[in-house]
Structure 1
């Protein structure tokens, strides 16, 4: 399996072995991914910070799921259920697109325990009047 720095610049990586459109109809756990896809080739070793998901605040808008470049946002039964840390590179896009106040995804040090992060979650911020 190649590392990210072993691919040619501009390389196109096809995520599925065959029948790409048909593969999209099944759950990602059941798809036949290529070894070069971000599903099988982890980029988690890039990460310095990680997003932590707070289910109590989340409104299941799926913005984070749509915008995540590595399909690292987990969803089950039409609800967001957390982050796949084997594939998350810690880019923070999920946090940027989260609309809740406070955000339901926040970045923490990769070494922070998720339970500790949840216990120290910020409170709702008051809206500023002009």
Structure 2
């Protein structure tokens, strides 16, 4: 197979995360899935990430949106409960933050070198709904 480099892929090309049939992929654990060569699950991307998502367990409702939408299966979840983030494979794309429905969000982006405790201490308060 002749693979195109990142700068040779035609704009608009769909790069799938998995090899072959992805039917039932949501029911498989990350380590049981067959990943495509285009997926960062096969190699660490931690060295070039600038921002990282930080997870706040106290706010999370375990809806699994982040797990479903993460393009690199970097969300660690077992028995429908969010456990954390696999930072070796998270590229900091912020998809998990965008799909999080909680108020405030249970995932927020912080500087790559931010301390966990400092990040959690800086978490915003719940936004109140404005009356019309």
Q: TM-score, normalised by structure 1?
A: 0.77
The runs of 5 or more residues in structure 2 that have no matched partner are none
The runs of 5 or more residues in structure 1 that have no matched partner are none
* Match among 99, 102, 106 for residue 100 of structure 1: 102
Residue pairs, 1:1-130, within 5 angstroms = 8-10=8-10, 15-16=18-19, 24=25, 26-31=28-33, 33=35, 37-130=39-132
Q: How many residues align?
A: 125
Q: Is the 8 A contact 1:63 1:98 kept in 2?
A: yes
Q: Is the 8 A contact 1:51 1:107 kept in 2?
A: yes
| Gap change, CA 1:34 and 1:125, over 3 Å in 2 | closer
Q: TM-score, normalised by structure 2?
A: 0.76
The 4+ residue runs of structure 1 with deviation greater than 6 A are none
Residue range with higher mean Cα deviation, 116-125 or 92-101: 116-125
Question: How much does 1:63 deviate?
Answer: 1.1
State the Cα deviation string for residues 57-87 of structure 1 (Å, max 9, x = none).
0001111111111111110121011111111
Partner secondary structure for residue 66 of structure 1: helix
Partner secondary structure for residue 86 of structure 1: coil
Q: Distance in 2 between matches of 1:99 and 1:23?
A: 25
Q: Is the 8 A contact 1:70 1:87 kept in 2?
A: yes
Residue range with higher mean Cα deviation, 25-34 or 59-68: 25-34
Q: Is the 8 A contact 1:46 1:90 kept in 2?
A: no
